[in-house]
Chain A
């Protein structure tokens, strides 16, 4: 038998566990959705709000765009950096303004990215994004995919530079690295499945509007 989920009018949210979920819950509460329960410590992966109109599924941050693109979740909250990396075909409707950071190139002070015409070695968690970014700049880069402690790349000589998100710059500083070039600003985004926005528009249009308002009020 085929498993049919997400066929009724419940709005399904994909949230990344942790800080993004907390901040999202804060905004949703201000939009009048009683979802305090998603902040309580639990191992449950699926929760519903008090009214039953919303369902929350908790996934790995990088998986949020996948769930939303494939329509098993209607709406998701995800960092712009993760979204760029995924290349997911979704609507990106609201800048939620939290989890602000920058995607940047970092390395030892004085390293000139433009000088490194051939075989620039770049360590990054954002392999897909890095590939298209360096292609668009006409730089022949050797992308080295890592999953954590990216800053180690230049230190141990694995890479010339890194492409990573930078918040305070503290980790870079403690490791003797600096931002060489900023690529773009990132923050949490509200993404919506391209079909759901139209087929569940009665629920989603007011929701998007009130989230926009809640974000604007907070600033």
Chain B
């Protein structure tokens, strides 16, 4: 019977004060998304496993899994981008869609760092591509975090094409690519040099790999990276980032952005721009996004898209908790008789419809009610006392 005191790891209760703070942040985010023309959409928490396992888009080991009555694999959604892509590709006519969402997502992890059920708020701009769309996504990411009152943050920008170009040059197989990507993601120079030696990579590739981890910082990184380009894919990724950088700097977002060309993107479906919102004191990123032009290919339709998701729980943790706890305007009580209860309910109905917050305590004495320190009214049989 001790189970009744336990909770599964990686989930948490949100108590009133924190819940109020969380709802306030969610409201600010949704309202900002709405102002930018994004329409809110909801999808079910349950999806077929195939939505995530196909094309190795997501590691099934990291999903909560169930069997349906017919044995089909069901999963709890680990993100919102896949379900929304499914909706757009299968239920909408081809076109341009700006969608936003707020919902719980689930990831099965043994690791101690992080929740297994967590709230994501985000946007997807589907059916459009180009620097203008990418710039809007980054700008909206900045505007959204600012709207929540976050101050000390940057958006760290990368492009999967840069590292993709390196991989292309190296001609590695899929398993080796993943191994190298994991090393680059960790900026593990030692591991990279061991890998390079083992795979017999050219000295040119080795020095490029050795320099890659430190290719981060302000816009000047893009110039430094120019000299390292080995092929058109790498050049094209830098051209895109240059154009994006010029636009964002001109729009006044320059001091909010930085670059990291070893940002590989934790989702394998990213196809271009990738970015993360980094905030001092958060420990891990509060926002993550990028361009995913080929994700909908699996549904038989090419839908170029860009979007980002905000880790609302992390944002709540990092923002100062200054939301006042909601207090009531008045308290009422009754003597417990049917007449008293009826009078109290009638009063509550009338007062709340006028916008007042009324706490009906129940059967109690006037003395108890007075202790609340707000307007207190007792109702008894027949009349107000």
A interface residue numbers (CB < 8 A to B)? 1-2, 4-7, 66, 69-72, 87-95, 189, 193-201, 205
Measured between C-beta atoms, what is the minimum distance from B279 to chain A in Å? 7
Measured between C-beta atoms, what is the minimum distance from B23 to chain A in Å? 18
Quick check: is B297 within 8 A (CB to CB) of the other chain?
no
Measured between C-beta atoms, what is the minimum distance from B213 to chain A in Å? 7
Quick check: is B370 within 8 A (CB to CB) of the other chain?
no
Measured between C-beta atoms, what is the minimum distance from A98 to chain B in Å? 14
Interface mask (B279-309 → A, CB under 8 Å = 1, otherwise 0): 1111111000000000000000000000000
Quick check: is B321 within 8 A (CB to CB) of the other chain?
yes
Q: Is the CB of B112 within 8 A of A195?
A: no
Q: Is the CB of A195 within 8 A of B284?
A: yes
Which residues from chain B contact A205 at a C-beta distance below 8 Å? 217
Name the segment of B35-43, B80-88, B182-190 touching the other chain: B182-190
Q: Is the CB of A89 within 8 A of B284?
A: yes
Which residues from chain A contact B281 at a C-beta distance below 8 Å? 4-7, 71
In the complex, residue of chain A having the shortest beta-carbon distance to the beta carbon of B190: A95
Q: Is the CB of B258 within 8 A of A195?
A: no
Determine the distance from Cα of A2 to Cα of B318 in the docked complex, in whole angstroms: 9
In the complex, residue of chain A having the shortest beta-carbon distance to the beta carbon of B183: A92
Which residues from chain B contact A1 at a C-beta distance below 8 Å? 321
Which residues from chain B contact A70 at a C-beta distance below 8 Å? 113, 283
Measured between C-beta atoms, what is the minimum distance from A210 to chain B in Å? 14
Quick check: is B354 within 8 A (CB to CB) of the other chain?
no
Which residues from chain B contact A189 at a C-beta distance below 8 Å? 190
Known: A71-B282, A71-B283, A199-B279. Contact between A92 and B186, CB under 8 A?
yes
Known: A89-B113, A90-B186, A92-B190. Contact between A194 and B216, CB under 8 A?
no
CB within 8 Å of A: which of B102-139? 111-113
Quick check: is B230 within 8 A (CB to CB) of the other chain?
no
Which residues from chain B contact A7 at a C-beta distance below 8 Å? 152, 280-281
Name the contact of B156 in the complex, choosing from A6, A89, A91, A198 (C-beta under 8 A). Answer: A198
Q: Is the CB of A198 within 8 A of B187?
A: no
Of listed B154, B189, B281, residue having the most chain A CB within 10 A? B281
Quick check: is B260 within 8 A (CB to CB) of the other chain?
yes
Q: Is the CB of B279 within 8 A of A92?
A: no
Q: Is the CB of A195 within 8 A of B278?
A: yes
Determine the distance from Cα of A199 to Cα of B285 in the docked complex, in whole angstroms: 11
In the complex, residue of chain B having the shortest beta-carbon distance to the beta carbon of A70: B283
Quick check: is B191 within 8 A (CB to CB) of the other chain?
yes
Q: Is the CB of A93 within 8 A of B213?
A: yes
Determine the distance from Cα of A94 to Cα of B193 in the docked complex, in whole angstroms: 12
Name the contact of B113 in the complex, choosing from A69, A91, A198 (C-beta under 8 A). Answer: A69
Q: Is the CB of B282 within 8 A of A198?
A: no
Q: Total interface residues on B, using CB and 8 Å?
A: 29
In the complex, residue of chain B having the shortest beta-carbon distance to the beta carbon of A184: B194
Measured between C-beta atoms, what is the minimum distance from B134 to chain A in Å? 20
Which residues from chain B contact A69 at a C-beta distance below 8 Å? 113, 283-284
Q: Is the CB of A201 within 8 A of B190?
A: no
B interface residue numbers (CB < 8 A to A)? 111-113, 152-154, 156, 186-191, 213, 216-217, 258, 260, 278-285, 317, 320-321
A-B contact pairs, 26 of them (CB 8 A): A66-B113, A69-B284, A71-B281, A71-B284, A88-B113, A89-B186, A90-B186, A91-B213, A92-B189, A92-B190, A93-B187, A193-B283, A194-B278, A195-B279, A195-B280, A195-B282, A195-B283, A198-B258, A199-B152, A199-B153, A199-B154, A199-B280, A200-B280, A201-B217, A201-B258, A205-B217
Q: Is the CB of B191 within 8 A of A92?
A: yes
Measured between C-beta atoms, what is the minimum distance from A62 to chain B in Å? 12
Q: Is the CB of A198 within 8 A of B190?
A: no
**Pairs of residues from A and B, 6 with the lowest C-beta to C-beta distance, nearest first:** A71-B283, A91-B187, A7-B281, A199-B280, A92-B188, A195-B278
In the complex, residue of chain A having the shortest beta-carbon distance to the beta carbon of B216: A198
Which residues from chain B contact A87 at a C-beta distance below 8 Å? 111
Additional 13 contacts, C-beta under 8 A, given A195-B283, A198-B216: A4-B281, A69-B113, A71-B284, A89-B113, A90-B186, A91-B213, A92-B187, A92-B191, A93-B213, A95-B189, A195-B282, A198-B156, A198-B278
Determine the distance from Cα of A4 to Cα of B320 in the docked complex, in whole angstroms: 9
Name the contact of B154 in the complex, choosing from A66, A194, A198 (C-beta under 8 A). Answer: A198
In the complex, residue of chain B having the shortest beta-carbon distance to the beta carbon of A194: B284
Which residues from chain B contact A94 at a C-beta distance below 8 Å? 189
Determine the distance from Cα of A70 to Cα of B317 in the docked complex, in whole angstroms: 13
In the complex, residue of chain A having the shortest beta-carbon distance to the beta carbon of B262: A91
Q: Is the CB of B189 within 8 A of A93?
A: yes
Which residues from chain B contact A196 at a C-beta distance below 8 Å? 280
In the complex, residue of chain A having the shortest beta-carbon distance to the beta carbon of B282: A195
Which residues from chain A contact B156 at a C-beta distance below 8 Å? 198
Which residues from chain B contact A201 at a C-beta distance below 8 Å? 216-217, 258
Determine the distance from Cα of A182 to Cα of B284 in the docked complex, in whole angstroms: 34
Determine the distance from Cα of A199 to Cα of B279 in the docked complex, in whole angstroms: 7
Determine the distance from Cα of A60 to Cα of B216 in the docked complex, in whole angstroms: 32
Measured between C-beta atoms, what is the minimum distance from B83 to chain A in Å? 26
Measured between C-beta atoms, what is the minimum distance from B193 to chain A in Å? 9
Which residues from chain A contact B187 at a C-beta distance below 8 Å? 91-93
Measured between C-beta atoms, what is the minimum distance from A14 to chain B in Å? 13
Determine the distance from Cα of A193 to Cα of B283 in the docked complex, in whole angstroms: 7
Which residues from chain A contact B282 at a C-beta distance below 8 Å? 71, 195
Determine the distance from Cα of A71 to Cα of B280 in the docked complex, in whole angstroms: 9
Which residues from chain B contact A91 at a C-beta distance below 8 Å? 186-188, 213
Which residues from chain A contact B283 at a C-beta distance below 8 Å? 69-72, 193, 195
Measured between C-beta atoms, what is the minimum distance from B174 to chain A in Å? 16
Determine the distance from Cα of A93 to Cα of B186 in the docked complex, in whole angstroms: 8
